[in-house]
Amino acid sequence: MKILKKIKTKLKLLSHSGFTYYCPFCGYRAKDWEVVGHDLPVLQEKKVVGGGRRAAGCYKCQSRDRERLLYAFIVEELRLPENKNLSLLHIAPEIKLSEILLNQNFKEYICGDLFTPGYYYADYVKNINVLDISYSDHYFDFVICNHVLEHIPDDKKAMRELFRVLKPGGKAILQVPISGNTWETHEDFTISDPKKREELFGQFDHVRIYGQDYSSRLEESGFKVNRINISDQYKKLGLNPYEDIFFCEK
C-alpha cells in the first residue's frame, strides 16, 4: 500500500509540474495549484478573503497561499533574516514558515500556541495564551499572528496583549479572514454549536467574520495600521490578489 501511495503521489506531482508557479517551501514548480478550502455559502456571500474554496495549495508540501504570503513579506520584502538582533513572537506558528525562521539565528524566536488536548505541537512551541502572554511589556521587536483572532471571543483583549509585548516602534503582522463586501464585523458569542458557527462564520471554531472595520479595531488597541498588497510582485507564489497584509506598528 505504501509503495502504491508513493507511485500515485509521484504521478500526481509529474502531472501538475510546470513553470507557472513556485513553492518557496519545498521548491516544487507547478502549472497550477491544488483546490483547497471550504465551499460554504457564507464565505461566498461575504466574499471572505483568506478562506473559502480556492486554487491555493501546493501539491507537494500542501503549503497554502496565506503561508506563502507571510514568507514573501517577511523574507523577501522585509528581509528580516538579515537582522539577527531581533526578538520575535510567532503565535500559532505555521510549520513550514517557522522551520525557516528557526534557522535564521535571531536573537530570540518564540513560538507559542494555546495547547489543546488532541492536537500535536512541535517541541519548540511553548504553551502561550494570547490573552495573557507571559512576557514583559515592550519585549518583542516583531510579532506574527496569522489567522488566530477569529477564534477568540475577546479579540480586543488579545490585540491589547500583542500591543503590550511589542517594543515602541515594533512591528506586527496580524492577518484574519476578512469580508470583502461588509464594513461591520459579524460576531455572536452566544453561538457555541459547531455546525451553526460553520454556517455563520465559515468554520466550526470561528466566532466571527471580520468586516472592513478590522483596521479600526486594531487602531483602538493602539496599533498604527498599514494595509499592503504585494500579490502582483509575487505572482509565481500564487498569492491571493485580494489579500492585504495588515502590517501594524506600535
pLDDT tens-digit series, residues 8-62: 777 787 889 999 999 999 999 999 999 998 889 999 999 999 888 899 999 999 9
Give the position of cell 496583549. 161
H helix intervals, the chain: 2-16, 41-45, 65-71, 95-102, 155-165, 194-201, 214-220
Which residues, 6+ apart, have CB-to-CB distance to 113 below 8 Å? 91, 92, 93, 121, 125, 126, 127, 128
pTM equals 0.94
Q: What is the mean pLDDT of residues 102-117?
A: 95
Report whether 90 contacts 110 (CB < 8 A).
yes
Structural domain boundaries in the chain: 35-57+64-249
Residue 6 scores a pLDDT above 80: no
Closest by CA to 207, choosing from 219, 221, 194, 220, is 194
**What pLDDT does 1 receive?**
65
Report whether 189 contacts 207 (CB < 8 A).
yes
Average pLDDT, the chain: 94
Alpha carbon distance 35, 26 (integer Å)? 18
**What pLDDT does 37 receive?**
87
**What pLDDT does 9 receive?**
74
Report whether 145 contacts 130 (CB < 8 A).
yes
For 35-57+64-249, CATH number? 3.40.50.150
- Backbone torsions φ then ψ of 51, nearest 5 degrees: -155, 180
The 10s digit of each residue's pLDDT in 143-161 is 999 999 999 999 999 999 9
Residue 114 scores a pLDDT above 90: yes
Report whether 41 contacts 51 (CB < 8 A).
no
**What pLDDT does 44 receive?**
93
Residue type, 242: Y
